[in-house]
């Protein structure tokens, strides 16, 4: 689905949207599917009367749809309220359920803050040992470094499938194989990868995997965790036993339906070549900028092993936040953070060995379902004009 000129919902009258890695517009088909469960089919799926029948069936169907996107069985899908919650259930849940005397966790320095902060909390509150692996210049984890860090007490290895800033794709199946050689679980955050590239939990050989609704055209407030059969986790919310006892609270059926519908649409579009179409637009944007600004445009991250929608570049002689301010018709991101009016470079880029001045010039341009060739052309012109002469 390419959308109409200027794209999809809420995009027709606004700036060109190139921030799909931050969040996606909700697909109208998703809104349509979830609507009846906000109004007519309001019953509690755990109840024992006819008002529960449709919600209960819809919940099961939503699990099956999310599972199908991941090559999994439906009963292995646990719905959560956010990706951060799913991350905590996976990491904290695996550690607290383990029998290791002093559990050891391995992650990497460019992992999402939801994982990094959970690891720091486990260190602080439970005395867990955590190893933070470095990344190379492409932002990738070396399987050899992982092997060297593993020991008999390693409970879990957590490495994201794709980096949210550079789109770098980690060698997940290779890393998982190394972890499993030592008897450790392997957990993968696929928030940005799910629906953008094919994923199969069996081929990847992962034990836990996170998907997030608002990264794949569903509303915010819904996510899911794939849990391998037979794997014990400590619950993240205690109570009435919903979600296989891992996340208590009456299920939000409407949001589960939304995520299931989004997963179904994503699977169909992947099969129809959506990734190839978006990658071509991304490369057109990069080519236009590099041609108009010769020698000034630098790609941050791998050229090939990255998400098809993600372009992270630095332009010599510019600062990312100033460049976007000079291009008000464009909605995109930088990797920098602003504290009291002072911008600091992205930790992801500096971890890759990129100099602070180049990191401060970074732009994250992420395309999506409703990005058109006209959007790319207009965005390129705006950035070229804003970059000017150094």
Check 338, 353, 357, 385 and give the catalytic one: 338
Is residue 311 within 8 Å of residue 21, measured between CB atoms?
no
For this structure, is 119 an active site residue? no
Parallel/antiparallel/unpaired status of strands 223-227 and 297-299: unpaired
Are 146 and 158 spatial neighbours (Cβ–Cβ below 8 Å)? no
pLDDT band at residue 342 under the 50/70/90 scheme: low
Is the pLDDT reported for residue 66 higher than 90? yes
Q: What is the pLDDT of residue 337?
A: 55
Residues 6+ apart with CB under 8 A from 301: 138, 139, 163, 165, 166, 167, 168, 310, 312, 352
- Of 96-100, 101-105, 200-204, 386-390, the poorest mean pLDDT is in 386-390
322/9: higher pLDDT: 322
Instruction: Give per-residue pLDDT as tens, 146-164.
Output: 999 999 999 999 999 999 9
Q: Could you tell me the end-to-end alpha-carbon distance of the chain, in angstroms, rounded to an integer?
A: 40
pLDDT confidence bin for 10, thresholds 50/70/90: low
Question: Percentage of the chain with pLDDT > 70?
Answer: 95
Q: Are 16 and 375 in contact (CB under 8 A)?
A: yes
Domains of the chain and any CATH numbers: 16-26+273-387 (3.90.1150.10), 28-270 (3.40.640.10)
Model confidence at 303, in pLDDT bands (50, 70, 90)? very high
CA distance 33 to 65: 13
Given this model, what pLDDT does residue 75 score?
82
* Residues 67-105 as b or e (16 or more Cβ within 10 Å = b): bbbbebeeebbbbbbbbbbbbbbbbbbbbbebeeeebbb
Residue 73: the pLDDT is 84
Give me 81's structure tokens. Answer: 């309220």
Q: What is the pLDDT of residue 174?
A: 98
Mean pLDDT score, 329-347: 77
CA distance 25 to 368: 9
What's the predicted TM-score (pTM) here? 0.93
């Amino acid at each position: 689905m390419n959308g109409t000129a200027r794209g999809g919902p809420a995009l027709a009258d606004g700036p060109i949207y190139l921030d799909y890695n931050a969040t996606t517009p909700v697909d109208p088909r998703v809104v349509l599917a979830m609507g009846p469960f906000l109004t007519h089919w309001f019953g509690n799926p755990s109840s024992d009367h006819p008002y529960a029948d449709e919600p209960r069936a819809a919940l099961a169907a939503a699990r099956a749809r999310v599972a199908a996107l991941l090559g999994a069985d439906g009963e292995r899908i646990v719905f959560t309220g956010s990706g951060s919650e799913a991350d905590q259930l996976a990491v904290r849940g695996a550690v607290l359920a383990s029998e290791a005397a002093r559990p050891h966790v391995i992650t990497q320095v460019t992992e999402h803050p939801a994982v990094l902060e959970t690891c720091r909390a486990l260190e602080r509150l439970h005395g867990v040992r955590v190893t933070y692996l470095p990344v190379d210049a492409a932002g990738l984890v070396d399987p050899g470094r992982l092997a060297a860090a593993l020991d008999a007490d390693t409970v879990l290895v957590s490495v994201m499938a794709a980096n949210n800033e550079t789109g770098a794709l980690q060698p997940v199946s290779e890393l998982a194989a190394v972890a499993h050689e030592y008897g450790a679980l392997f957990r993968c955050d696929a928030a940005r990868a799910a629906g953008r590239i094919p994923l199969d939990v069996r081929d990847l050989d992962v034990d836990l995997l996170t998907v997030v609704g608002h990264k794949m055209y569903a509303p915010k407030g819904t996510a899911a965790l794939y849990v391998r059969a037979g794997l014990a986790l400590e619950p993240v919310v205690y109570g009435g036993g919903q979600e296989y006892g891992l996340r208590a609270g009456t299920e939000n059926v409407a949001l589960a339906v939304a995520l299931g519908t989004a997963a179904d649409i994503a699977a169909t579009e992947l099969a129809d070549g959506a990734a190839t179409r978006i990658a071509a637009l991304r490369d057109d944007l990069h080519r236009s900028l590099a041609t108009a600004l010769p020698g000034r445009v630098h790609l941050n991250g791998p050229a090939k092993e990255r998400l098809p929608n993600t372009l992270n570049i630095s332009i010599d002689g510019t600062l990312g936040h100033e460049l976007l301010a000079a291009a008000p018709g464009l909605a995109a991101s930088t990797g920098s953070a602003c504290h009291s009016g002072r911008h600091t470079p992205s930790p992801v880029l500096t971890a890759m060995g990129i100099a602070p001045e180049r990191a401060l010039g970074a732009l994250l341009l992420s395309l999506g379902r409703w990005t058109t060739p006209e959007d790319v052309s207009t965005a390129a012109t705006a950035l070229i004009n804003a970059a000017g002469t150094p």
